[in-house]
Amino acid sequence: MTAAAFPTRPTGGLTAGWARLGDRVAARAERIAAAAVTPLVPADYLDLFHPLRAGGDLRARIVSIHAETRDAATVVLKPGRDWAGHVPGQYIRIGIDVDGVRQWRAYSLTHGPRPDGLISITVKAVPGGVVSNHLVHRAKAGTLVHLEQAQGEFVLPADLTGHKLLFVTAGSGVTPVIGMLRNLFPVTDEGVVHLGRELDIVCVHVAPSRPDSIFIRNLEELDRVGAIDLVARYDDEHGLIDIDQLSELVPDLAERSTYACGPAGLLDALTAHHDARGLQLFTEQFRASTVIVGDGGTVRFEAGGQEIETDAATPILDAAEDAGVLMPSGCRMGICFGCVLPLKEGAVRDLRNGDLIVANPGESDGIQIQTCISAAAGACVIDH
């Protein structure tokens, strides 16, 4: 059994236990009192007492948060009863209120299905990141978050017989891969369990330094017991990795299926490398690479009447939020379509490839654009 399957017994004795119970009762009473003076529908009353109930909006409760590195933390969640489960390698979108504004972000699940029914994500705080910094440094156990069902196709085949695998990960790109590895090789109090599988797995893991490497202890333990062959590359020791030298690090590279997750630059280099050699590659990317084309312009939000000036390199979503405009958002990398809005007129550019998208006034109700990966290419009007 896993150590995470059972909670530890509370300390502090009977008095402390009654105090905690009193705090929970008081908090519940406060919520009910607030509801009494607020217009609610029947579902709202059910949510007060059973926020994780079946049939309501899917939510999860934060069970615990623990640090992985100085700027990364694992968040353990108890999902609501309508949670449909996941396949290791998939991601979820969670919605959390930060300073009174609900923000949505996508994070990979870092575990396979667990006996206790909990799920976990690992978040790296990025400079200026509203949600990532909140989750890593400010969020508390007991907080309710909104949740969407798991999605994503970055998963392993159901039958791994005869497969030789190579994982290439960089920074927080290790998160979906650690979920796969934990599912293949569960870790108990007695150590790593092989489950009788004969698997040939190499993991090339890149990080700025060992202390900044998320899950490095897990990877090293898997390497120590022979579950994987770990090739760790730290920028402060080895310099930046040269993908053209990958065959030197992995001599039988041509015999392996490669699964890679990390920054756009790494994945672009891997894609070019593998395409040139006819090698199989599956990728998961957390942030879109950008192609800056054009001079920016004025963005007017038709419904709200706001107008902002932005450059050609800044996504409309980011520019709007910086100007105080509340915007729908999700993964912020062009995958989940949580930020889609109609472009009524004008032009924008897709920051991933430089493609121009033009909407002529009166021709339609608007062209749907993803504001997280689109920048203004002149004056434009968005229905929001």
Bridge partners (DSSP) of residue 145 are 60
CB 246 within 8 A of CB 273: yes
SS (H, E, C) 177-222: HHHHHHHHCCEECCEECCCCCCCEEEEEEEECCCCCCCCHHHHHHH
Annotated domain spans of the chain: 59-152, 164-285, 297-382
State which amino acid sits at residue 384: H
Residue with tokens 């200026």: 128
CATH topology of domain 59-152: Elongation Factor Tu (Ef-tu); domain 3 (2.40.30)
CATH topology of domain 297-382: Ubiquitin-like (UB roll) (3.10.20)
| Residue 48 structure tokens | 């007060």
Query: pTM for this one?
Result: 0.71
- Whole-angstrom Cα distance, residue 76 to residue 80? 13
**Inter-CA distances, 103 with 92, 100, 129, 328, Å:** 14, 9, 11, 8
Is 164-285 in the same CATH topology as 59-152?
A: no
Report, at the CATH architecture level, how domain 164-285 is classified: 3-Layer(aba) Sandwich (3.40)
SS (H, E, C) 294-326: CCEEEEEECCCCCEEEECCCCCHHHHHHHCCCC
Helix, strand, coil in percent for the chain, rounding step 5: 25, 30, 40
Residue with tokens 């053209």: 244
Task: Supply the pLDDT for residue 9.
Answer: 37
| Residue 51 structure tokens | 């926020």
248 Cβ contact partners less than 8 Å away, ≥ 6 residues apart? none
3-state secondary structure of 344: strand
**342 secondary structure, DSSP code:** E
Residue-level pLDDT, tens digit, the chain, 384 residues: 333 333 333 444 555 555 555 555 555 555 555 545 444 444 444 454 566 767 678 999 999 999 999 999 999 999 998 999 999 999 998 989 888 778 888 899 999 899 899 999 999 998 888 899 999 999 999 999 999 999 999 999 988 888 899 999 998 899 999 999 999 988 765 566 665 567 899 999 999 999 989 999 999 999 998 999 999 999 999 998 999 999 999 999 999 999 999 988 899 999 999 999 999 999 987 655 555 556 788 999 988 889 999 998 899 999 998 898 988 888 787 877 889 999 998 889 888 888 888 888 766 678 899 999 899 988 899 999
- Whole-angstrom Cα distance, residue 29 to residue 202? 54
